């Protein structure tokens, strides 16, 4: 699989962000005014799985998502699709996507919003991995026991 683009990275981070944290980080950000082009709209997407992780695809079920598209005063268009039902989260993420495309705002927004979100998400992943590692059971084989 190809490496994700910078835009794909920040959109992934925005989609996985906690809505309250996102609101607090963007409260002091210099986001340009925007208009809604589409949404926020709530809908369903089909989630697929694969038997054994690599086998044939099957439909696991549906998941609720919200999508939103905005255009800011500078002319950039931003999109967002988030899991759940938070219209506010989707609109803020779309506004940030648009603003991050502006070279004059990009670095400041990356430092003020995206980097703290990415660090918090990484810390949460590591904490989950540590909790899982604590429950790992080491099984010895007969060959190991005979040595």
Q: Is the dihedral of CA 43, 92, 11, 80 positive or negative?
A: positive
Q: What is the pLDDT of residues 26-84, one digit of tens each?
A: 888 878 899 999 989 999 999 999 888 788 899 999 999 999 999 999 899 999 999 99
Contact 77, 37 (CB under 8 A): yes
CB-based contacts of 115-120 (< 8 A; 24+ apart in sequence) = 116/25, 117/13, 117/14, 117/17, 117/21, 117/22, 117/25, 118/13, 120/21
Query: Model's pTM, two decimal places?
Result: 0.81
Each domain of the chain, given as residue ranges in start order, spans 6-146
Return the closest-CA partner of residue 34 out of 100, 85, 82, 83.
100
């Amino acid at each position: 699989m190809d490496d994700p683009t910078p835009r794909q990275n920040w959109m992934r981070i925005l989609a996985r962000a906690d809505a309250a944290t996102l609101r607090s980080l963007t409260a002091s950000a210099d986001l340009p005014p925007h208009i809604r082009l589409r949404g926020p709209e709530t809908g369903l997407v089909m989630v697929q799985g694969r038997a054994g992780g690599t086998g044939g695809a099957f439909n696991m079920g549906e998941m609720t998502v919200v999508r939103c598209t905005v255009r800011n005063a500078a002319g950039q268009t931003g999109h967002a699709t988030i899991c759940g039902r938070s219209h506010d989260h989707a609109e803020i993420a779309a506004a940030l996507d648009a603003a991050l495309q502006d070279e004059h705002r990009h670095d400041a927004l990356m430092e003020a919003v995206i980097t703290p979100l990415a660090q918090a998400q990484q810390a949460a992943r590591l904490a989950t991995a540590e909790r899982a590692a604590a429950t790992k059971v080491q099984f010895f084989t007969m060959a190991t026991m005979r040595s």
